[in-house]
Amino acid sequence: MMIDNTYLDVKPDVAQALAEGKPVVALESTIISHGMPYPQNVQTALNVERIIRENGAVPATIAVIGGRLKAGLTEEEIEYFGKKGTAIRKASRRDLAMLCARGEDGATTVTTTMMIAHMAGISIFATGGIGGVHRGAETTMDISADLEELAQTPVMVICAGAKAILDLGLTLEYLETKGVPVIGYGTEELPAFYTRTSGLKVDYRVDSPEELAAAFRASKALGLRGGMLVTNPIPQEYAMPLDTINAAIDQALAECSTQGIHGKEITPFLLARVAELTGGDSLASNIRLVYNNAALAARTAAAFCRREAAN
């Protein structure tokens, strides 16, 4: 079935780059509206776009505004998202049709950013951390839609691993079942968002953007249906001690249960509470790992475009 992109708006500089075969990197908007407070959220979003440009690619921050799927935001639109914050609905796959039909706003998660990026023809996406299997999912069945999207949408997602608040072992098992390759950039172990290692093994280690680009091009040439997950460890100088972050997560999880928080409200609550419990250190680490992922994504997108042009 052909997809009707009537609802899709591609920012002019993004459209031009795609038409000319130049590198473009997609970015999510939930990190702006739900990831951190204003004005830090806007400053971070603009810095991420700057880093992508400095590394040779065009940024395309993705969102839903007034029922329109936006592949690329203006500075004014990023400011609007930052100020409106959590009043904007987090938009997963189940929300897109209703948001478009009602002409409402939506902050794109990993899932919807992948979807809209693919609609626009963008192959590389940089984020902080993906969602996954939540702790206690054997009882709650709380599993992020991000994992399903990785299994069916051919976009390379570059992140710092799954969010540390999750059950990382079960997340890897789920990705294996869905046939999603988990690649460690410069590492054989899965990064755990705020920390560089989790003690869990990834499927493959790669050491250059060129190797990432070659793997993704091979995946597309083979007609493989899903995406690729690249896990890029947080820089050592910004990593947090594992014991510190685990203690904060355990306390935040207990409070989450006590307060009856569930569903899509869990992740923003936990991230905000962990930031409070660590005196803001986790938020600072979060920002730095996003910057690191953006730079790698831009270099990978550039390498991918060079390979495409050579063939």
Domain ranges of the chain: 8-310
Q: Is the pLDDT of residue 187 over 50?
A: yes
Contact between 100 and 7 (Cβ < 8 Å): yes
Q: How far apart are CA 117 and CA 105, in angstroms?
A: 17
Q: Is the pLDDT of residue 2 over 70?
A: no
Q: How far is CA 117 from the centre of its chain?
A: 12
Q: Which of 132-146, 198-212, 220-234, 287-301 has the lowest mean pLDDT?
A: 132-146
Rg of the chain taking only CA atoms, in angstroms: 18
Catalytic residue among 11, 28, 79, 264: 28
Predicted confidence band of residue 3 (pLDDT cuts 50, 70, 90): low
Q: Is the pLDDT of residue 192 over 70?
A: yes
Q: Where are the alpha helices (DSSP H) in the chain?
A: 12-19, 30-33, 40-54, 75-84, 96-102, 110-120, 137-140, 145-152, 168-177, 209-221, 242-258, 266-277, 281-310
Q: Torsion angle of alpha carbons 40, 42, 48, 50, nearest 10°?
A: -120
Q: How far apart are CA 225 and CA 96, in angstroms?
A: 21
- Angle ∠(144,149,311) on CA atoms, nearest 5: 150
Spatial CB neighbours of 272, under 8 Å, sequence gap ≥ 6: none
Q: What is the DSSP string of 227-241?
A: -EEEE-PPPGGG---
Predicted confidence band of residue 141 (pLDDT cuts 50, 70, 90): confident
Q: Is the pLDDT of residue 65 over 70?
A: yes
**Residue with the larger pLDDT of the pair 34 and 5:** 34
**Tens of pLDDT, residues 23-33:** 999 999 999 99
Q: Which of 25-29, 195-199, 294-298 has the lowest mean pLDDT?
A: 195-199
Residue 163 annotated to the active site: yes
If you average pLDDT over residues 221-239, what whole number do you get?
95
Question: Domain 8-310 - what CATH class?
Answer: alpha beta
What pLDDT score was predicted for residue 264? 67
Predicted confidence band of residue 310 (pLDDT cuts 50, 70, 90): confident
